Every structure is written in C-alpha cells, then in structure tokens.
C-alpha cells in the first residue's frame, strides 16, 4: 500500500506551517504502508495540478492532505469538502476567489472515504485531542480536499482521499494570546496513528459512534 501525504507551505503572516513540519517528520513506512511526502503551495490554481501529477507519478492507494487550522484545539479529521472557494485572505500568489465554484461540473459536496470516526477514536485513546470536523473552511485546504475528491470521482475511483487539519504549534502563539496550540511531536504522533488506522480500516466501514456537533 502506498500513501501520498501532503503538507502546505506557510501562508498568511506565518513563518512556519505545522502541517508541513509534521509531514516532514513522518517515517517512510507506517504499518506496512509506504509513505510518500510532498510539500504543496498554498495557491488555488497551482496546487491541484501538482497533486494530480504526484498521483500519476506515484500511483498511491490513498491521498492524505494535511493543513493548518489555527484556532482549533484538536487535530480535526475532515468529513466533507464543498464546491466553493471564498477566500478571507489572499493565497501565496495574491489570488482571492470570492464565491467561486471549484469545478463547474462538480457536485455541491464530497464526503471523504476515510474512516474519520475510527481515526478520532484512535487518537483520543492515545491521549491526542481529536475530533471530526464538518467544515474544512473555504480557503485552499477545502479547495485541495474537494479537488482530490473530484479526481477520485472522475479519474481515480480506486483511490481514497481525505484531509486532516492540525492546530498551531507553541512557537506560533507566542504573540497570539489565548490561542490553543499543540506540540509538534504530538501532531506527528497523531498523524502516524491516523495513518495506522487508515491502513487497518482499509476495505472496512467506519465505526458507528457519535461524532456530530450542534453548531
């Protein structure tokens, strides 16, 4: 089994992206699966084709995209991506789409193929704060998740794909009072546990447990 894991470069005013730093620290093999890592740009129009080329090159069985969600306390496993790009800030090339669809021929939303609840359960059992998320935002993270799901739907039906958001690391919140953070080592551990769970549940249904939210 081969898993392509991507991490975004820093964006906005940040000098570091914990998603990329954690992805860089992943071992080359997890639970028997070969791990292929890739840095991707926080740029709307560029990132999709880069991932598509990587899929063609490496022929992975699973694509896991990892991004930063500053302000979130948990590692959050995304359930759904929506066909909308509505950027609060510009990307790293100055692009700022407003109320634009990602694919004209795409559905309103896609659900991930990953066992999101099993992943969250595994992380929490190992004392890593985690939760299911039902919004990946409307910035490049959601764009990438939707883009990969559209590729799966239209070109690569045997591939599974998903997205995980990680919190700030402590160095990022020194000047951000009251913002939550997580040690990089715990983020790496969380991603390794998530990937282990993906391998374990390959071909199996997700667990049945409450993961929804009221708001």
* Total number of domains constituting the chain: 1
Selecting among 78, 100, 127, 205, the annotated active-site residue is 78
Selecting among 14, 165, 205, 215, the annotated active-site residue is 165
Residues near 129 by beta carbon (within 8 Å), at least 6 away in sequence:
73, 74, 75, 123, 182
Active site residue 141: yes
pLDDT in tens, 70-120: 999 999 999 999 999 999 999 999 999 999 999 999 999 999 999 999 999
Selecting among 125, 141, 150, 185, the annotated active-site residue is 141
Residue 60 belongs to a domain with what CATH number? 3.40.630.20
Q: Is residue 135 part of a domain?
A: yes
pLDDT in tens, 184-208: 999 999 999 999 999 999 999 999 9
Q: Is residue 80 part of a domain?
A: yes
Q: Is residue 43 part of a domain?
A: yes
Greatest Cα pair distance in the chain: 45
Q: Is residue 9 part of a domain?
A: yes
This prediction's pTM: 0.97
Active site residue 165: yes
Q: Is residue 212 part of a domain?
A: no
Q: Is residue 84 part of a domain?
A: yes
pLDDT score of 29: 98
Active site residue 39: no
Q: Is residue 215 part of a domain?
A: no
**Domain range for 122:** 2-200
């Amino acid at each position: 089994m081969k898993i392509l894991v991507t991490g975004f470069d820093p964006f906005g005013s940040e000098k570091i992206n914990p998603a990329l730093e954690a992805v860089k620290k992943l071992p080359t093999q997890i639970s028997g699966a070969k791990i292929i890592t890739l840095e991707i740009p926080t740029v709307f129009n560029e990132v999709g084709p880069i991932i598509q080329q990587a899929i063609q090159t490496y022929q992975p069985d699973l694509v896991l995209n990892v991004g930063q969600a500053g302000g979130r306390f948990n590692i959050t496993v995304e359930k759904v991506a929506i066909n909308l790009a509505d950027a609060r800030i510009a990307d790293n090339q100055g692009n700022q789409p407003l109320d634009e669809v990602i694919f004209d021929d795409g559905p309103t939303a896609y659900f991930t193929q990953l066992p999101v609840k099993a992943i969250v359960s595994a992380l929490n059992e190992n004392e890593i704060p985690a939760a299911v998320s039902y919004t990946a935002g409307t910035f490049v993270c959601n764009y990438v998740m939707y883009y990969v799901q559209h590729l799966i739907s239209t070109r690569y039906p045997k591939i599974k794909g998903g997205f995980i958001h990680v919190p700030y690391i402590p160095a990022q919140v020194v000047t951000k009072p009251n913002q939550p953070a997580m040690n990089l080592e715990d983020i790496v551990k969380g991603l390794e546990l998530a990937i282990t769970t993906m391998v374990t549940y390959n071909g199996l249904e997700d667990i049945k447990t409450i993961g929804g939210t009221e708001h």
